[in-house]
Amino acid sequence: MKKKKWTVENSLTVVTVVAIFALWFSLTATGSFSETIIPSPKSVWDAFIDVIRYGYKGNTLLQHLGKSMQRLLIAYLLVVVTAVPLGLLSGYNSKVRAILEPIIEFYRPLPPLAYYTILVLWMGIDEGSKLALLYLAGFAPVYINCVSGVIRIKEDYINGAKTLGANKRQIFFYVIFPAALTDVFTGLRTALGVEYTTLVAAEMVAATAGMGWLVLDASNYLRSDVVFMGVIIMGITGVLLDKLIRFVEKKVVHWSGRA
């Protein structure tokens, strides 16, 4: 098994992270900023230890994180099983694209909070409206990337398959689907980020747990240390989830980047 070599890029990443923490520490050490505006690294660490030990508003940190991950992953899986096939089909069939594209293009630019109130009116304040908001946020980027991936496939590939006697089903599964996989995973990565940014909005209404709710609630009480802690945890979790998708992509689309 080959060991990965330490590269210049790895060094630059480490230096960047260290520089950010050094800047943060230096800004708070001088006392130029109030703890309410920029809490010190020590305050954020103490808040983390405190929430680990005693929880926050009746729930442990793991319960808050677990609730957010549950909402995020349920919505994300629904996006995967619907947006990917619909996007690929729309790219392959212009009639299907003509039906779906106006709907996607209409709601895609809208801020999530703009239609969240409508979802709450239709579905109530329970989990359904939250999952629907996250689902809609993640659907559009996956659908658009899938359509783009199919449209960009060279006609020579399809014509070559037809020449060899492939039918429409074989062309779709053995030519179009593999060729579009890189764009599919780009859409999946984008959707995860969009859903995560929408998580705070999804947990604004009638939630009592979740990282988005924790950050929002702490901000109402000017608990900047807890806010920073929550944002950092969400950021780290987001990076880990993205790395997981990239790992799966490397295994599935193993030919990507090769001549």
Backbone angles phi, psi at 56, to 5 degrees: -140, 120
Q: Is residue 38 a part of any domain in this protein?
A: no
pLDDT tens digits for range 190-238:
999 899 888 888 887 778 889 989 998 999 999 999 999 999 999 999 8
Number of domains forming the structure of the chain: 1
The label of the residue with tokens 């995020």 reads 72
Whole-Å CA distances, 247 to 84, 90, 124, 242, 252: 19, 27, 37, 9, 9
* Residue 96 is assigned to a structural domain of this protein: yes
- Residue 59 phi/psi, 5-degree rounding, is -130, 145
CATH code of 147's domain: 1.10.3720.10
Expressed as residue numbers, the domain containing 139 is: 55-252
Pairwise CA distance, residues 11 & 7, whole Å: 7
What is the C-alpha end-to-end distance of the chain, expressed in Å?
23
| Residue 27 within a domain | no
CB 150 within 8 A of CB 176: yes
Which pair of tokens denotes residue 219?
């901000």
Of residues 129, 82, 126, the one with CA closest to residue 104? 82
Would you say residue 17 lies in a domain? no
Inside any domain, residue 177: yes
87-115 pLDDT, tens digit per residue, is 999 998 889 999 999 999 999 888 888 88
72 inside domain = yes
Specify if 1 maps to a domain. no
pLDDT > 70: percent of the chain: 97
The CB-side HSE value for 92 (13 A sphere, CA atoms) comes to 18
Within-domain flag for 10: no
